[in-house]
Amino acid sequence: MEAGELNDALDDGVKTLAEFLGDRLKVEVRESAGTLAMTLPDDLVGARRRIRLLLKKFLHKQGLDEFRVITGVDGRFIVKRRKPKP
């Protein structure tokens, strides 16, 4: 999951997101250069949908409505800043 642009909007944005996801999913989230990685247990049903929902919830709670969650080619989630409307 790529979330490097969050550091521009929040102090320690990626680290805060890692703590948020770790608390909610009860897994270890590793952070490295704006990228988060986690290993999910097999019994976590609907994990991808839940992670996407938690990412959106984090953005909303932090008041970061200018960001969105998209899925990359390889299935990773990417948190990107929305393009400005013309």
Domain segments of the chain as ranges? 6-81
CA distance 5 to 41: 28
Rounded to the nearest integer, the mean pLDDT of the chain is 86
Rg (CA), the chain: 13
User: Facing residues of 37 across strands?
Assistant: 30
Query: Is the model's pLDDT at 69 over the cut of 70?
Result: yes
pLDDT per residue as tens digits for the range 32-65: 888 898 887 777 667 888 899 999 999 999 999 8
Q: 41-45: long-range contacts (C-beta < 8 A, 24 or more apart)?
A: none
Q: What is the pTM (predicted TM-score) of this model? A: 0.85
CA distance 80 to 6: 8
